[in-house]
Structure 1
Amino acid sequence: MTSPTSTRYGRDVRSHIPAGIDVDGYLSLSDRDAAIWERAAVHLGVRNNDSHTLYAYGIARALLAVTPDADEEVALSAILLHDIGWSSVAEHEILEAIAPGGGRPDLIRTHEIEGARLARGILSDLGTDSDLIERVVEIIDGHDSRQTALSIEDAIVKDADKLWRVTPHGIATVCGWFGLTQDESLRITAARVQGSLFTDAARTMGRALTAIASIDIAPQRQGLA
């Protein structure tokens, strides 16, 4: 984290900065989630899945904050583990599996099935309750291929996973995957996301993220010094 070297104001305002715990939406991983992440991360070193997973986790936390009837432990365990199965797919085939206009449904299913298997082992090693393990595994095994949500926790995982695509990190990552401009990446990701979300909160979040990204590439914004 960088430190400022000058101030236009001329006075130090740091004494007025609230603690993170007092800022709505400011978050860090709990001890439980950090333990899952530590074990998941070794399987997430392909296709930016490590960064993707952390951003999706943050989105899921935001969605859970306005969905009090959802089981946070189930949803957050599932989002941290949802993509670990890509480690079982050859790296050169991963983009082929998800490319717009193409795709390999068989590879998508492979990553779901393997992800569910790996997640079961990780959660078992952590001493997780067997009922919770089953609920998490059920979500992971179908989080991309299944067109319906089995539960509110499944809906949150699906929505958080997709919403990452219209974050600044998601848009930039898709640019790199397919050689697209920022505008092209935004249009293809937003079009694929907006019609596939399950919760009202996610739809609102998706519109907001898309609006911000649209302004970033607007000529009026680009013309500012």
Structure 2
Amino acid sequence: MLPQLTPTRNDLGRDVTVHLPPAAGLRGVYALDEAHRAIWERAVPHLRVRDNDAHTIYAYGLGRALLDLTPGADPDVVLPAILLHDTGWSQVPEPEILEAIAPGGGRPDLVLRHEREGARIAREVLSDIGWDAGRSERIVAIVDGHDSRREAISLDDALMKDADKLWRLTPHGVDTVMNWFGLTRDEAHRLIASRVHDHLLTEPGRVLALGLAAVASIDAAPERVALA
């Protein structure tokens, strides 16, 4: 389900859009960089399983925020790695994908398979568009191990891994996990919290996680539900 993009009413009754500032230069207003669009367009056909397309573009935005808060990281490694990290799930039979990450079970062999296939796809995509060779090797190394490897191999890897996990705490992430496993909103948030906070690798990631978790908590609070 897409977020609401246009208003359903205007309570004020007059147009105020002339007073709005342009997006350029505003903090936290993110969009896909033109340099990364060619990667996204080639990644999308591999992301149309398990809501990975929406997951990936949300993670890209979170990655942009993490980069703003983390000096020294390379956007042209972190952000392409985010766009490509889950392409390998397209090479796993769709009925088996959720078994790889299901509570109380899991299929580590499938997790490793999607990482290996994702690294292969990433290499092909980056070669196809002529991405910088040194950066391409760093991106491929990040993709190959982004879930199974607990520790980061670089700062760029840490930001990619944190952006990947942070998506789960977004409203879209909670909605998605609810439907994956037939959980209530509260149950889904508890599962997500157990898999995110203690596994983040950067201080900006931990701070963003608490903010997103606060929203997720209140979304399921009886006081908020009673307002619906």
Task: Please classify the TM superposition score into its range, dividing by the shorter chain length.
Answer: over 0.9
Q: Which runs of 5+ in 2 are unaligned?
A: none
- The 3-state SS of whatever aligns with 1:21 is coil
Q: Which residue of 1 aligns with 2:34?
A: 31
Deviations 1:68-87 (A, max 9, x none): 20011000110000000001
Give the match for residue 199 of structure 1. 202
- Of 184, 187, 201, which residue of structure 1 is paired with 2:187? 184
How far does residue 206 in structure 1 lie from its aligned partner after superposition? 0.6
Q: Call closer, same or farther: CA 1:17–1:136 in 2, change over 3 Å.
A: same
What is the aligned counterpart of 1:13 among 1, 16, 19? 16
C-alpha deviation, 1:4, in angstroms: 4.0
Q: 1:137-173 CA distances to partner (integer Å, 9 max, x unpaired)?
A: 0000000000100111000000000011111011010
Alpha-carbon distance, 1:101 to partner: 1.4
| Cα RMSD for the two superposed structures | 1.3
Residue 100 (structure 2) pairs with residue 127 (structure 1)? no
Partner of 1:152: 155
Equivalent residue, structure 1, for 2:107:
104
2:92 is aligned, of 86, 89, 93, to 89
Partners of 1:89 and 1:68 in 2: CA distance:
36
- Name structure 1 gaps, 5 residues minimum: none
> 1:42-57 maps to which residues of 2 (within 5 A)?
42-57=45-60
Amino acid of the residue matched to residue 151 of structure 2?
T
Provide the rounded CA distance (Å) in 2 between the counterparts of 1:195 and 1:12.
46
**Aligned equivalent of 1:117:** 120
After the TM superposition, which segments of 4 or more aligned residues of structure 1 sit over 3 Å from their partners? Answer: 1-6
Q: Distance in 2 between matches of 1:224 and 1:5?
A: 19
* Partner Cα distance (2:25, 2:217) in 1: 31
Match of 1:163, SS state, is helix
CA displacement 1:122-146 (0-9 Å, x = unmatched) = 0001111211111000000000000
Amino acid at match of 2:133: S
User: Identity over aligned residues, as a percent?
Assistant: 58
Q: TM-score scaled by structure 2?
A: 0.95
How many residue pairs match? The answer is 225
Q: Distance in 1 between matches of 2:215 and 2:194?
A: 15
Change beyond 3 A, Cα 1:112–1:6: closer
